[in-house]
Amino acid sequence: MYTIDSTTDAHEIERVPAADGELVLRRAGEHYEIISNGCFLMDTRAGASERLLVRTALDALGDTPNPRILVGGLGVGFTLREALTDARVAQVTVIEREPAVVRWGAGPLAPFSGHALTDPRVRVVTSDLVAWVRSRVAEPTAGPGVGPVAEQSHERFHALCLDIDNGPDWTVTDGNASLYDDAGLAALRARLLPGGVLTVWSATASPEFADRLRRRFAHVSVHRVPVPRGEPDVVFVASER
Ligand SMILES: C[S@@+](CC[C@H](N)C(=O)[O-])C[C@H]1O[C@@H](n2cnc3c(N)ncnc32)[C@H](O)[C@@H]1O
């Protein structure tokens, strides 16, 4: 997310109902802005910290072959694009709550993600990440002596790269807050493969969230990315490595 004031010359392209309100896509010159309930959510102008969100995860994974990445929140696709620049990345699952954001990502915003949604490594799930993380799917078991039993399990990833809010202390909808509490972190951790990495984007320092991560992960680092005005963006990186 990039928290600058929206420009006055921007004009509205589309306004749609969204979770707890509405979403607006605006165009300002060659750039686009996504506004959520009157608050600036993301635009196509910058993206350094959004790219760092996935770059730090891939660096932490070292030489892990064919990493499978989850990107939480499509936005304008900067994070997704960065994941796809790494040839090692085998699969990226994007969890995005708003169907309109996915549609815009395949339409006017496609050039900003490098047309990422057409990459065969990308799978988009239109779902609420907070609920999805806690969900379990029935997977058929197979093998000699195993009957038609379904085992409750869930898909796991080498990296979870999450940017769905202005940060753990500044969520865009009330329901998102439970992603960052102890139960939320436990659910996220259960989605990581052994040695996996969790990264979380924030527009504020969120020291309590950093402490919560330290209680649950062996290694936690905090990266600050200067922005033109205001507090630096922050990327939290948590892993067992
Ligand atoms: C700031 S944008 C993400 C920016 C992205 N990192 C990029 O590079 O453009 C946040 C995105 O998260 C989505 N989002 C917000 N809450 C969500 C939730 N609970 N589940 C899934 N997506 C959510 C928003 O619709 C929006 O597309």
Domain boundary assignment for the chain: 46-239
Residue 2 identity (one-letter amino acid): Y
Asked if residue 238 lies in contact with residue 198, where contact means CB atoms within 8 angstroms, the answer is yes
| Ligand 1, atom nearest to 132 Cα | 20
Tell me the per-residue pLDDT of 61-106, one tens digit each, with 9 for 90 and over: 999 999 999 999 999 999 999 999 999 999 999 999 999 999 999 9
| Ligand 1, atom nearest to 53 Cα | 6
For residue 5, give every residue at least 6 positions away whose Cβ sits within 8 Å of its Cβ, in sequence order, or none. 40
What whole-number distance in Å separates Cα of residue 185 and Cα of residue 178? 9
Q: How far is the CA of 140 from the centre of ligand 1 (A)?
A: 32
Given phi > 0 = left and psi -120 to 50 = alpha, else beta, which region is 238?
A: beta
Nearest Cα residue to atom 25 of ligand 1: 98
Rounded percentage of the chain residues whose pLDDT exceeds 90? 80
| Ligand 1, atom nearest to 81 Cα | 8
Does any ligand 1 atom lie closer than 6 A to the CB of residue 233?
A: no
- How large is the average pLDDT for residues 192-217? 97
Does any ligand 1 atom lie closer than 6 A to the CB of residue 105?
A: no
**Phi, psi values for residue 79, rounded to 5°:** -65, -45
Q: How far is the CA of 164 from the centre of ligand 1 (A)?
A: 4
Q: Given this model, what pLDDT does residue 228 score?
A: 85
Of 2, 41, 174, which is best to mutate to test ligand 1, by the most ligand atoms within 8 angstroms of its C-beta? Answer: 41
User: Any idea which architecture 46-239 has in CATH?
Assistant: 3-Layer(aba) Sandwich (3.40)
Does any ligand 1 atom lie closer than 6 A to the CB of residue 41?
A: yes
The count of residues in the chain is 241
| Ligand 1, atom nearest to 176 Cα | 19
Q: How far is the CA of 96 from the centre of ligand 1 (A)?
A: 6
Tell me the per-residue pLDDT of 131-155, one tens digit each, with 9 for 90 and over: 999 987 554 455 454 444 444 568 9
Q: Given this model, what pLDDT does residue 80 score?
A: 98
| Average pLDDT of the chain, as a whole number | 91
